[in-house]
Structure formats: C-alpha cells, structure tokens
Amino acid sequence: MNDYYAVLGVPHGATQEEIKRAYRRLARKLHPDVNPGPEAEEEFKRVSQAYDVLSDPDKRRSFDRGADPFASAGQGGFTGAGFSFSDVMDAFFGAGAAAGSRGPRSRIQRGQDALVRLDIDLSKAVFGSGEELTLDTAVGCRTCGGDGAQPGTGRQTCPVCGGTGEVQQIQRSFLGQVMTSRPCVACQGYGSMLTDPCHDCSGDGRVRTRRTLTLQVPGGVDTGTRIQLAGEGEVGPGNGPAGDIYVEIRVRPHDIFSRHGDDLHVTVELPMATAALGTVMKLSTFDGMQDVDFRPGTQPGDVVTLRGLGVTHLQRGGRGDLRVHATVSTPTHLTEEQEHLLREFAALRGEDRPDARLHPEDKGLFGKLRDAFKGEAG
C-alpha cells in the first residue's frame, strides 16, 4: 500500500491545511493539461488518490491504522468522498474558481486614470502658479443618472444565464464529468439586459464632455514632475468612481537663464577695462533688478552668487541661488587714439613686449621631462 504522506511530501502529523497546500502545489505541476504524458498522468492520479485519503478524516484514520481506506467502498481507486473538483480548480485558479462561484458582474467600475502634459515657463517653475487645464473626459449621464437605461424603462433578466451572469458547461475527463462556468456572452456577465438603452449615453451611463480645472503648480517643479489630481479623471462605467489625473510638467528652456538643480545660472559680458577696474552693474532677474558687484580684476569664469534668488525648493522652504558668470570681452577694433593710449598703458605695466609664460599645467612634455631631470640631479 502506498505511503500517501510520502506521495504528498508531508509529515504524518500534517494539518489539513498543509495537506491541501501540498496537493495544490503538486496538482499545478502534474496536471495533464500542464504536463502532458503518461508518466505525469499516472503521478497525478497517485497524488489525487493520496489527497482523497488524507483529506477525509475517516479514510485517514483507517490508513493510519494500516487498514485499507477504500475497503468500505469495495474498490481500489479513489471514490471522491473527500475529493472535490473545486480542489483542482483552486490549485490552478485559486479559491472560488469552481462552477457557480463568480456570480453576475457589477456594472459599476472605476474610471481610468489619465496623463496630461503641461508646458510652463521657467519663471512659473521658480515661484509656482495657477494653471487652467481643459480636459475632454467622461462624466455621469444626466439623462439616466448613470444607470444606462432610458428613463421609464429598466432591465430584464438575461434569458440565457437566468441572471447568474454565467453559463455552465459539462466536459468529460479522466476524473469523470467536470462542470465549468464561463461569463455569459449574451449579457456580458451582468446577469441582466437593458430593454431600452439611454438615448444619450447608449447604455454606458456616461457621456464625454469638456471641462476646465484650475491646477496649483507648486514652486520648484521641474521637467518630469507629476502632480496627481485624485478623483478628477473620467467617471467609470455605470457612473462608477472617477479615476485620477496625473499632470506631467515640462519646463520650457529660457533665453537667458539656465537651471541646474534649484540654482539659476546666467552669463554676463564685461568689457576689458570694466573687468580690470571693477563695477556694480544692474541685472534683470525673476525678482526684479538686482545689483551685481564685480570686484576689480575680474577674470573670465569668475562667479558672483546672489543668495536666495534661485528656484524654490520643492516641498520645503527656501530657494536656491542665482550664479552670475563673468566673461571678459577684448576689443577687436581700436581707433588710433585708443591704440595709442593702450600702448602707453602696456608700457607702464611692462607689457609692451611680454615674454611667453607657461602655467605649470601647460609646460608640455619636454618641460615636464626637463623638470624631472633637474629634480633627480638635485
């Protein structure tokens, strides 16, 4: 006689839940629809027989005493007293997959979510703004109140499924006759049919319309930021709960300012003499005119930082900085007087015939080799 505990791979003291889990696991693996072949079919029969015995308290007690658990049935196969086709269905589709377990579908369903893209200027990303969104969405039908039936009419029970929303089929297998259930095609699983669909929504319970929403865009948003508007999406079938709207932000490039994180960057050009002498210049920013102090001897690439004039930090206080980058322009066309004065200035600084001077990082290969040899000789 087979050791049914070994067949299912459970200990002798296993609980009914452990036995059921073991059977489901093996049934999914060995069922002929999944694993065709005579060997798998025979193994599946052994597993099913073991479960038939161990799931029935009387048969299990008889088996534990060493007696034939099928003696009372007068046969050596499994009788099905403790075996149900729902166990096989549960093994593949989960609990409730057996016939007659689903029932009619609900006509009320949640509406779909929607993704909307919104382009804004950089200035609005800095401070935030209120934006109007015009949307074409589904709303509940006012004529039928979302019911789908023309006012004064109703629904009739589906004559095909009798209101269950399902039709049953009987199939033969090696297990015997098996009954399965499928959604009714006539009523689409709802169990009832409209006698006269609403003339405005055609029985859907909703119609499409255009509406306008006001969106508060917080300061600090950037390209790719998504803002959720809960319950502002389209109404579901049967006047079901509305979905959500997700607004994806795209910040347009600015002609003057660029953004890196929450800092703003801008480049200004200083004349050569101004850079040498230093100056305070007026700069138009998102916060109005601001003074920018360039020290005497400003070099190309120098940066002046204006604190707190950058982009608002999203979801926290404060703002980033505005960084002003300097470039120095060298005059290319000089008058005779300007050239004369510039030569006098160069002579005063000893720059009228300057020698080429290399920066340490610009010595080149031979200069670096020469320095290396000098170091070794020293």
Asked whether residue 101 is assigned to any structural domain, the reply reads: no
Asked if residue 102 has pLDDT above 70, the reply is no
> Into how many domains does the chain fold?
4
Q: Are residues 143 and 247 in the same domain?
A: yes
Q: Are residues 87 and 11 in the same domain?
A: yes
Asked if residue 270 has pLDDT above 60, the reply is yes
Asked whether residue 99 is assigned to any structural domain, the reply reads: no
The string over 93-103, giving b where at least 16 C-beta atoms fall within 10 Å of a residue's C-beta and e elsewhere, is eeeebbbeebe
CB neighbours of residue 180 within 10 Å: 15
Phi, psi of 169 (to 5 degrees): -130, 145
Asked if residue 98 has pLDDT above 60, the reply is no
Asked if residue 184 has pLDDT above 90, the reply is no
In percent, how much of the chain has pLDDT > 90? 40
Asked if residue 285 has pLDDT above 80, the reply is yes
pLDDT of residue 145: 87
Asked whether residue 205 is assigned to any structural domain, the reply reads: yes
Q: Are residues 246 and 262 in the same domain?
A: no
pLDDT of residue 259: 96
Ramachandran class of 74: left when φ > 0, alpha when ψ lies in -120 to 50, beta otherwise: left
Q: Which residue has the higher pLDDT, 165 or 224?
A: 224
For residue 266, what are the contacts with CB-CB under 8 A and spacing of at least 6?
A: 256, 257, 258, 283, 322, 323, 324, 325
Q: State how far Cα 320 lies from the chain centre.
A: 29
pLDDT of residue 186: 82
Asked whether residue 102 is assigned to any structural domain, the reply reads: no
| Domain boundaries, position 32 | 4-93
The mean pLDDT of 93-100, rounded to a whole number, is 43
The mean pLDDT of 243-271, rounded to a whole number, is 96
Mean pLDDT of the chain: 82
CA–CA dist 63, 3 (Å, integer): 9
Q: Are residues 285 and 347 in the same domain?
A: no
Q: Are residues 315 and 272 in the same domain?
A: yes
> End of a domain among 236, 251, 266?
251
SS3 for 306-317, per residue? ECCCCCECCCCC
Do the Cβ atoms of 94 and 226 come closer than 8 Å?
Answer: no
Asked whether residue 247 is assigned to any structural domain, the reply reads: yes
Q: Are residues 360 and 317 in the same domain?
A: no
> End of a domain among 251, 284, 316?
251
Please, which pLDDT band fits residue 122 given cuts at 50, 70 and 90?
A: very high
In percent, how much of the chain has pLDDT > 70? 80
pLDDT of residue 94: 43
pLDDT of residue 80: 40
Asked whether residue 307 is assigned to any structural domain, the reply reads: yes
Q: Are residues 68 and 189 in the same domain?
A: no
CA–CA dist 224, 284 (Å, integer): 28
pLDDT of residue 115: 92
Look up residue 153 and give its two tokens. 């009419």
Asked if residue 370 has pLDDT above 80, the reply is no
Q: Are residues 36 and 70 in the same domain?
A: yes
Task: Decide: helix, strand or coil at residue 234.
Answer: coil
pLDDT of residue 298: 95
Q: Are residues 209 and 264 in the same domain?
A: no
The CATH number of residue 33's host domain is 1.10.287.110
Asked whether residue 36 is assigned to any structural domain, the reply reads: yes
> End of a domain among 42, 63, 93?
93
Q: Are residues 118 and 238 in the same domain?
A: yes
pLDDT of residue 218: 95
pLDDT of residue 121: 96
**Which of 301, 302, 321 has the alpha carbon at shortest distance from 311?**
321
pLDDT of residue 42: 80
Asked whether residue 106 is assigned to any structural domain, the reply reads: no
Q: Are residues 132 and 212 in the same domain?
A: yes
Look up residue 279 and give its two tokens. 């100056």
Report pLDDT digits (tens) over 292-309: 999 999 999 999 999 999
Look up residue 320 and give its two tokens. 């980033």
Q: Are residues 80 and 14 in the same domain?
A: yes
